[in-house]
A and B are shown apart, each in its own frame.
Chain A
Amino acid sequence: MTGPMNNIQHLIPEFERWKERYPAGFEGSLTIPCLRRIQEERGYIADSDIDELVAYLGVPRTQVDEVLGFYTMFTRTPLGHHHLQVCHNVSCSLRGADGLLKYLCGRLGIQPGETTPDGKFTVSTAECLASCGTAPMMMVNEAYHENLTPAAVDALLEELTK
């Protein structure tokens, strides 16, 4: 289907089911879960998604804009197919995160924050992801990869480019 107001309509039955466990009057609370769900499908949030969500939840548009700007997990533009986020906080850096990040960027030929020209990989840095005991680590889309070494990075990249 195409058209301006039907990007998120198919998700509304699911959103309606969520409401059952919230107290009445908590519609605004659904802003973050709905945005997460929309982004899960498309990979980013488009302008038309915001229009539709504002219409559905009845929240002010500024609230949605604020939320999108505040939380690091929301993106307004598409990222690479695989988003590699390397933690560079204290425990990970004590166990070699900086070297690992350099190695990864070297292999892909990009800098943190960039996407490979084929759109396959985006590399970013992340703050502590509560995986400090198995440092260094990175997140690949939703999944944690822990106790990383250059060899493990090689194996992972090979797996992901298959």
Chain B
Amino acid sequence: MNFPPTEQSHSLHDYRARGGYQALEKALKELQPADVTKEVLAAGLLGHGGAAFPAGRKWGVIKPNDGEDHFVCMNADEGEPGTFKDRWILEYTPHLCLEGLILASYAIGGRHAFIYIRGEFDLPFRRIQAAVDEAYEAGLLGKNILGTAYSLDVVVYRGAGSYVCGEASAMLASLEGRKGWPRNRPPRLTVKGLYQKPTVVNNVETLANVPVILNLGAVEFKKTGTPKSPGTQMISISGHIARPGVYEVEYGYSWEKFLYEDCGGMQGGKALKCIIPGGVSTKILNAQEIKGVTLDHNSAVAAGSQLGSGGMIAVAEGTCMVRLARVIQRFYHHESCGQCTPCREGMGWMERILDRIVRGEGRPEDIDRLYRISNANDGTTICSLGDSAGYACTAILDHYREEFEYYILNGRSMFD
């Protein structure tokens, strides 16, 4: 994303001046669909939506010339608390992810593609819709793109307010005009997806990397990052940090350097208490646990968490973790789609327990109860909202149990 965001950086004109759509032209005129997938696979591009599944492997499941309809759906639902990097791409360089979407569609033999954007987004929606309109006008979308035999139509589809619709199968249900209920897999979405047709769902940032890979070539692309996490990751950082915002770091970059130098350390010079690494669905780590850790998937997992969607939230000393846990639980309860009993009932139950602790009416057995409810969710739900919600809470309990005990015993927070 190496360019200065300006008043016009979102326009086709500026994108072209940065080398935009050269990758598409080259692919459509010189490469077979399978070659595009091969290059992306060789580059080792990982999904940036949170699960870090290799994009090339996902695409490779689909046979571009089997005569069936195939779809690519760009996941621009960005709802994970702490995450706002896709919004940055959509606002400042929408053509980059759009070019990636066209390339992905070419690679899997798609005639129609979708951009599913969260319903509340206004400017990002207008920017990506304008980019699509510009692309149609310039012959980059529609029939016979750039004079080749390849044709593609793109619909920008606006959600209507639902976090779970960011989950890939829920998103496709929503795109079919239904409520966003995730479904069990198998069959995988790459086998039976949108209207039962093979479908690839990829995050905005994942697709934004595709033109970069085709321009640089897989070999050059792999020179940044680490062998297991090639390339870069966009990190959106917020909370008690001096310089919040969106940053792009090379995988393998020092976490402490990032926090204390690039982001200017904590707001008001306070000490770091803990950090939510990649959206509230990832387990918290305290200041000790990130020492020496680098920003790549393996390193984050070894430290006991995940890089997730790159939505980092820094929490300063003096913050009450009981209240923080309650905010997270309230969120999950609000967003549970209600389909699986352990998630629907468990989220509400955990929220009620945390609510009463925060009111000063907690009971000694509440801590064990929170663990028990969370364990009941583990692996028993259709999508990973249920699991993550449980972990998010128990990871806070693991680290700060004494704060919960104090709150329950004294009826007030340790920090009041």
- Residues in chain A within 8 A of chain B (CB atoms): 18, 20-23, 25-26, 28-33, 35-36, 59, 63, 66-67, 69-74, 88-91, 93-95, 126-135, 139, 142-144
- Kindly count the residue-residue contacts between A and B in the assembled complex, taking CB atoms under 8 Å apart: 148
Could you tell me if B78 and A130 are in contact, using CB atoms closer than 8 angstroms?
yes
Closest B residue to A30 using CB positions: B177
Fill in one digit per residue for B226-258: 1 if any A CB lies within 8 Å of its CB, else 0: 000000000011111000111000000000000
The verdict on A59 contacting B177 (CB below 8 Å), with A23-B69, A72-B162, A90-B82 known, is yes
Could you tell me if B162 and A22 are in contact, using CB atoms closer than 8 angstroms?
no
B160 on the interface (CB 8 Å rule)? yes
Which residues between 157 and 195 of chain B lie within 8 Å of chain A, taking CB atoms?
157-163, 174-180, 195
C-alpha spacing A51/B93, complex, angstroms: 41
CB distance from B172 to the nearest CB of A (A): 10
Q: Which residues of B contact A142 (CB under 8 A)?
A: 122
Q: Which residues of A contact B403 (CB under 8 A)?
A: none
Q: Which residues of B contact A22 (CB under 8 A)?
A: 112, 153, 155
CB distance from B181 to the nearest CB of A (A): 8
Closest B residue to A35 using CB positions: B160
Closest B residue to A91 using CB positions: B238
C-alpha spacing A106/B179, complex, angstroms: 36
Fill in one digit per residue for B313-328: 1 if any A CB lies within 8 Å of its CB, else 0: 1010001000110011
Could you tell me if B158 and A33 are in contact, using CB atoms closer than 8 angstroms?
yes
The verdict on A90 contacting B158 (CB below 8 Å), with A127-B335, A130-B121, A133-B238 known, is no
Could you tell me if B236 and A71 are in contact, using CB atoms closer than 8 angstroms?
no
CB distance from B313 to the nearest CB of A (A): 6
- Residues in chain B within 8 A of chain A (CB atoms): 69, 78-84, 86-87, 111-112, 118-123, 153-155, 157-163, 174-180, 195, 236-240, 244-246, 276, 280, 311, 313, 315, 319, 323-324, 327-328, 331, 334-335, 337
The verdict on A73 contacting B119 (CB below 8 Å), with A28-B176, A30-B177, A128-B79 known, is yes
Could you tell me if B81 and A91 are in contact, using CB atoms closer than 8 angstroms?
yes
CB distance from A55 to the nearest CB of B (A): 15
Q: Which residues of A contact B121 (CB under 8 A)?
A: 130
Closest A residue to B319 using CB positions: A94
Residue in A18, A20, A26 with the greatest tally of chain B CB atoms within 10 Å = A26
Q: Which residues of B contact A94 (CB under 8 A)?
A: 238-240, 313, 315, 319, 324
C-alpha spacing A126/B120, complex, angstroms: 10
